[in-house]
């Protein structure tokens, strides 16, 4: 699936709708450069899942947790790691195995440690306000 959005709000609205297709256990791998809109997408996603907490970039921690009575969302950001061993020590496999929804920024850094069963979301900056969002289920 592929869409173009013309503003941050459109990306949020799209992610809100997309959230309705998710189920507990899903792992979403986000790809895209700095400023592509990964965190904006997660904001919409978390809101669409019916969680009221404010989403902020977890750049200074590896993981933030958002939840309501029914669902937990792990929001992981691997921007700050360098070596693959920085990530393998985080216990991510335990998180992936949980009945939560896990969304990962800078997924490319996990390389072959990404779970095979996942949803890839690539966000590409076309110009100042335009983004191409491509989604592929594996």
Beta strands in the chain (DSSP E): 2-5, 27-31, 63-67, 72-77, 101-105, 119-125, 131-137
Site string for ligand ADP, 52-81 (x = CB under 6 A): -----x------------------------
Instruction: Answer yes or no whether residue 35 interacts with ligand ADP by CB under 6 A.
Output: yes
What DSSP assignment string belongs to 19-31?
HTT--TT-EEEEE
- Residues 65 and 52: their CA atoms lie apart, in Å, by 12
93-112 positions binding ligand ADP, by CB under 6 A? 105
Instruction: Answer yes or no whether residue 72 interacts with Mg ion by CB under 5 A.
Output: no
Other Cβ atoms closer than 10 A to 87: 19
- Residues 12 and 59: their CA atoms lie apart, in Å, by 20
Instruction: Answer yes or no whether residue 131 interacts with ligand ADP by CB under 6 A.
Output: yes
Q: Are 120 and 31 contacting, i.e. CB atoms less than 8 angstroms apart?
A: yes
Instruction: Answer yes or no whether residue 39 interacts with Mg ion by CB under 5 A.
Output: yes
Q: Measured from the CB of residue 51, what is the shortest distance to ligand ADP in angstroms?
A: 18
Binds ligand ADP by CB under 6 A, chosen from 15, 28, 29, 40: 40
Phi, psi of 55 (to 5 degrees): -95, 125
Q: Find which of Mg ion, ligand ADP, none residue 37 binds, CB within 5 to 8 Å per kind.
A: ligand ADP
Binds ligand ADP by CB under 6 A, chosen from 11, 51, 118, 121: 11
Instruction: Answer yes or no whether residue 131 interacts with Mg ion by CB under 5 A.
Output: no
Phi-psi region of 91 (alpha: psi -120 to 50; beta: other; left: phi over 0): left
Stretch of 6-14, 66-74, 103-111, 127-135 contacting Mg ion, by CB under 5 A: 103-111
């Amino acid at each position: 699936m592929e869409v173009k959005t013309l503003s941050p709000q459109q990306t949020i609205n799209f992610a809100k709708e997309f959230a309705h297709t998710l189920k507990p256990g899903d792992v979403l791998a986000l790809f895209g450069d700095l400023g592509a809109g990964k965190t904006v997408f997660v904001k919409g996603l978390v809101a669409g899942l019916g969680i009221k907490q404010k989403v902020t970039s977890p750049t200074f921690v590896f993981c933030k947790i958002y939840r309501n009575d029914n669902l937990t969302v792990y929001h992981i950001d691997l921007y700050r790691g360098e070596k693959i061993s920085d990530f393998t020590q985080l216990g991510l496999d335990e998180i992936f195995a949980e009945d939560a929804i896990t969304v990962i920024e800078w997924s490319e850094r996990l390389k072959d440690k990404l779970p095979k069963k996942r949803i890839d979301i690539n966000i590409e900056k076309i110009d100042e306000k335009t983004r191409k969002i491509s989604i592929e289920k594996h």
